[in-house]
Structure 1
Amino acid sequence: MEVKQIDSMAQIDAVAWNRLSGTDYPFLRHEFLSALEQSNAVCTQTGWQPAHLLVMDQQQLLAILPLYLKSHSWGEYVFDHQWAQAYQQHGLAYYPKLVSAIPFTPCQGPRLLCAREVNQASVCTLLLGFIQQVAERRGISSWHCLFPEHAQLDWLQALGVSVREGVQFQWFNRNYLTFSDFLQTLSADKRKMIKRERRRVAEQGIDMLRVPGREVTDAQWQVFFRFYALTYLKRSSEPYLNLAFFKQIARTMPEQLMLVLAVKDDTYVGAALSFIGSDTLYGRYWGCQAEYNALHFEACYYQGVDYCIEHGLARFDSGAQGEHKISRGFEPVTTYSAHWLKDADFAKAVTQFVDREKKALQHYKQDAANYLPFKRT
């Protein structure tokens, strides 16, 4: 086996890549990563330089590790700015660093993709050795693997890297037949709260329209992007993604897209875009023209819950952060990241920090679970 590094998805055949990635997890599809590159959302100028690793046996593709050379820590959702500051205070450079992640996408999923016949432990050792050599040769401080699924923790821990934990809030489908079935599992006050929020959306004259990706019109994509961009502009920042990205995935992977549109007086007033996996709905982007009572909850949460129930999806991953989700039935789950630092002293310090952080997160997760709205049994 040998490792080959590419700096563009155009350098690897889409069929060969997707044979390993599959389509269960939409964000590792060749189409998704290519759209990021071809729209220039991901490039050297934005601080996300593609550097993907391929493990080859002559012409046969055996394994893939998505990889980016980063000159900052934005768009990752695993925050290491304090680590970078500590490096600077000691006269060291934290950037550039290497990151195995899906840009701007804090969704758990596979990171190392291997053919079935491959010994994963051998591939992992080979890849980390390659990364360490590149780091030494190019003055790179570290490698970070963000939001790997739990099933891939074993190979990461076997590499001797520091494993960091985080918390997100996700909704789980316990074989509900209708939204009302879900509500019946909640305490009376939270059940009334959700009913009231959904009712208020209707009382404001707002209708909700759920559009499969194949049926979204060009005009609707224009509307959605305007709303999406507004969420950033309201915070005086620029959106990570552009209209070209959304139009490209609309052409190349529409079957894994679902757009929710809020309509008032024949005018669109809000929108939320989700991605559809094999058993999970991923809520990703949202925006609105003006603020309406409870519209965010309806578009971003309740419509997604409805969709999961109707289509038999097991889980609704509605994105990072958001403690307000707890009272609406979204449960705390542990997320992971793995970190290798070239400098031995900083690696030791980060490991000690991560161990302390884990203990605090365990208490936080338990406290969050105590506020879940489900009936006590």
Structure 2
Amino acid sequence: MTFSTASSFTPSRQIAVRQEWLAQVREEPLDPTLPIVDPHHHLWDRAGEHYLLDDLLRDAGAGHDVRATVFVQCGAMYRATGPEEERSLGETEFVNGIAAASASGTYGPTRACAGIIGFVDLTLGDRVAPLLEAHLATARARFRGVRNRTAWHPSSQVRSNLLTPPPGPLEDPRFIEGARHLAARGLVLDVWAYQTQLPLVAAVARAVPELTLVVNHCGGPLGVGPYAGRREEGFAEWRHEVLGLATLPNTVMKLGGLAMEVGGYDFHLRDLPPSSAELERAWRPVIHTLIEAFGAARCMFESNFPVDKGMCGYGVLWNAFKRLAAGAGEDERAALFAGTATRIYCLHEAVGCEALGAQVAVSKP
């Protein structure tokens, strides 16, 4: 095994994408007719980081049948002026425009950003109501929920956000008040939290049982900072927490995000990018634990692009997911790759239920 020193980080502490490096490993898509909904990606245009519709569609055009995608908040295109709590409307406006362009069919069959997860500060409590209505008025049925900046760890070596949030949003009683307004409008709460924060995530799910809470990135298993070199011990701690979380019926798990630096994998340091078989072997314990615990009806594979693109290519990533789901039944595979995401984010029109058929039906809990 050889390693490269060419890898670097973006200003927001993401692994830098190196197209030439990724191009060294290309694979034909496995099961290319299997419908896919990618329920987690970002778009941005900032110093040292550019990922917009053409970049997303270039990745999604790697041969897999990507029917639709869901954009998840990342601080893109906020308004430069106006009340602070309203500036995130700029992101929803920006993404809704991208979605409208994609929905025209001009850019191909993939319906990019058919669902939008935006940002409203839930610690505003009851004051979130008019803000949620403003986002809904902007994007209408495409606006499907909210994600706040919540991933936090006391170690400075554990960081995955452009801005480091304060340690306590999930513990703030006003956060629960805000979350109740999401549930009242049929919106979901996406949460990105590290494994050390999963008890706080569970507390939110218990406090608002009518809310659908989507846990991002496999519940944040850690492999850096205090967890570096302690994968087995860290896995045992993570497993204990996710098994507890799985007992709460209003929680859903996104399977992905394992190619971030905080996960502790070193594929980006190697001379060659990983193959799907290598990713499958590395990620099998985490992914199989989650599918067994939550069931296919409460799991969905995600790309987390372009963040995970620093470590692997889009086509290779979805091949790895298909390898990981090889032992599942047809209905389970359909749910994992499209059905669960379609149901949770109400994407039926964009995905084309006449084509999905049983995939959506089987996703019912």
TM-score by length of 1: 0.30
TM-score by length of 2: 0.31
Larger Rg: 1
